[in-house]
Structure 1
């Protein structure tokens, strides 16, 4: 099943979810690591270039995911608790907003000097230049804080998924791990 149904996520949604998770944790880890690289490190230039390339990849994937979500709505929530369902929707919205904030601020850091961003050395994403004085510093602070907040929210998201699985014993987590067969009522 490629698309979502009322009761299950499709393979596209599941794949995007887990690729996004890997990219978010990978980019966060590399971001923490690379800020302490010295000029003489062999990774001094390569790590930021890879970080930017994977960040642009995540941006494209996130934009695709938002469009996919608009044309292919998510399955119905399994919780009957309206407050819990609303909190889940708000958390998902916040995750999307933080992802976009991080990626836009990353672009503004990298292009403030007028240079574009090379995507895996294949092509360049053009710079729009500097919009405000000290753009790279302002965008850098936003990028860093939004990344920390995102990781905190992702940890809450993981705890909520585990709560659904082990406490509520519902299929919230299972349906994001594998495509479920449709259950037909006769």
Structure 2
């Protein structure tokens, strides 16, 4: 039986923008359909510290995304990707347009009127050293010297940790609680 186009779009969205919590998925489709897609392995559920998250399942990867390899993502990576999806939504409300997300799921790239924004969300992954190293690996410091670097917005549990980097310019840090799901939250 072929999968309806709207559910294929949902699976592609999970792949491109990242996972979401089960409650958010249930706002987008009937409960019976959702659990049927889980049962048929188009979707998977990963328990995280934020709650149960929906990811693309093995059958979704093969039949909808035309990928061959399946893996079960780590709960911490899924939690960070859920947060990133929420951070993307906030940026879109501010007029930014989503371009892409890196494969590891903690960084998204956005654009608005010729400007570029890199959004980073993490529960606990970044220290100042690891963030500097990530930006260095991505060539951000070289682009900053040339005046072509995108702005960077970081969501982190300890925003004060990055005060020195904020003073150096090009970096905005917001508290991760802005994108944490509320217990009674179905959809923002």
**Is the TM value for this pair above 0.5?**
no
Q: Highest Rg: 1 or 2?
A: 1
Shorter chain as denominator, the TM-score bin is under 0.3
Which one has the bigger helix percentage? Answer: 1
RCO higher in structure (CA 8 A, sep ≥6): 1
Looking at secondary structure, tell me which structure has more strand per residue.
2
Q: TM-score, normalised by structure 2?
A: 0.25
Length-normalised TM-score, structure 1 = 0.25
